[in-house]
Amino acid sequence: MSRTTDPYLQIVRRDRMTPRQQALVPAHLPRSLTLYEFRQDPTRLDDINWQEYGSIAIWSSNGSVIFIIEDQYFKPFWGRHVLFLLSDRLRGSIYGETDAAIAETATFFWSLQYPEHWGENHLQIRLGFVPPGNSEFDFAALLPAQLEQILDSTRFITLSAGTFTAEQSVILATRPYPLNIVLSGRFTFVDQGTAFVHALQTRESPFGFLEVIGRRNGRPFSVENLQLLFQLNFILEHLRCHIDDEECALLPISAKVNKLHYRMSTNYVRPDDFASIDIEANDFTLELSVDGNHENWDSLLIAALHRVAELGHFERLCFSVFSDYPRKMGFDRVARVVDALIRAIHANPSLACLDLSSDRQSVRWSPHFQPLFQSMEEHPGLRTFVVQSCTRRDEEVYNFHEPLFQFDFSWLQQLLSSNRRIAVVDRSGQICSNGPVIDRMYLLNRFYLGSESLLQELTASRPALVPSALVDRASNNAQYIALLLSHHTDVLCGVVQDFDVGEVASLQSVSEGEPSSGTLRPNALKREAPSHL
The Cα–Cα gap between 525 and 457 comes to 12
Q: At residue 268, what is the residue type?
A: Y
Query: DSSP of 460-495, one letter per residue?
Result: GGHHHHHHHHHHHTSTT-HHHHHHHHHH-HHHHHHH
Provide the terminal-to-terminal Cα distance of the chain, rounded to the nearest Å: 44
pLDDT of amino acid 80: 83
CB 475 within 8 A of CB 505: no
**Burial class (CB within 10 angstroms; exposed 0-12, middle 13-18, buried 19+) of 196:** buried
Beta-bridged to residue 355, according to DSSP, are 318, 386
Torsion, Cα 197 141 108 153, to 10 degrees, reads: 0
CB 96 within 8 A of CB 63: yes
Q: What is the value of pTM for the model shown? A: 0.84
pLDDT of amino acid 71: 67
The Cα–Cα gap between 367 and 390 comes to 12
**C-alpha angle with apex 444: 447 to 472, nearest 5 degrees?**
50
In a 3-state reduction of DSSP, which class is residue 103? helix
The Cα–Cα gap between 508 and 475 comes to 10
Contacts 24+ apart (CB under 8 A), 420-423: 420/444, 420/445, 420/448, 420/449, 421/382, 421/383, 421/445, 421/449, 421/530, 422/376, 422/379, 422/382, 422/383, 422/384, 422/385, 423/383, 423/384, 423/385, 423/530, 423/532, 423/533
The single-letter DSSP state of residue 425 is E
Per-residue pLDDT tens, the chain, 533 aa: give them.
556 678 999 999 888 889 998 888 876 667 778 899 999 999 999 999 998 888 899 999 999 999 998 766 566 666 788 999 999 999 999 999 999 999 999 999 999 999 998 988 999 998 876 655 567 899 999 999 999 999 999 999 999 999 999 999 999 999 999 999 999 988 999 999 999 999 999 999 999 999 999 766 668 999 999 999 999 999 999 999 998 888 888 999 999 999 999 999 988 899 999 999 999 999 999 999 987 666 789 999 999 999 999 999 999 999 999 988 777 778 899 999 999 999 999 999 999 999 999 988 888 899 999 999 999 999 999 999 999 888 765 444 444 444 556 788 999 999 999 999 999 999 899 999 988 999 999 998 988 887 777 777 556 666 666 766 666 666 677 677 777 777 777 766 766 666 555 555 555 555 455 443 333 333 433 333 333 33
pLDDT of amino acid 27: 65
In a 3-state reduction of DSSP, which class is residue 449? helix
For 29, residues 6+ apart whose C-beta sits below 8 A from its C-beta are 57, 76, 77
pLDDT of amino acid 380: 95
The ranges of the chain annotated as CATH 3.80.10 are: 258-434
- What would the CATH number be for the domain defined by 258-434? 3.80.10
Buried b (16+ CB within 10 A) or exposed e, 171-182: bbbebeeebbbb
**Burial class (CB within 10 angstroms; exposed 0-12, middle 13-18, buried 19+) of 392:** exposed
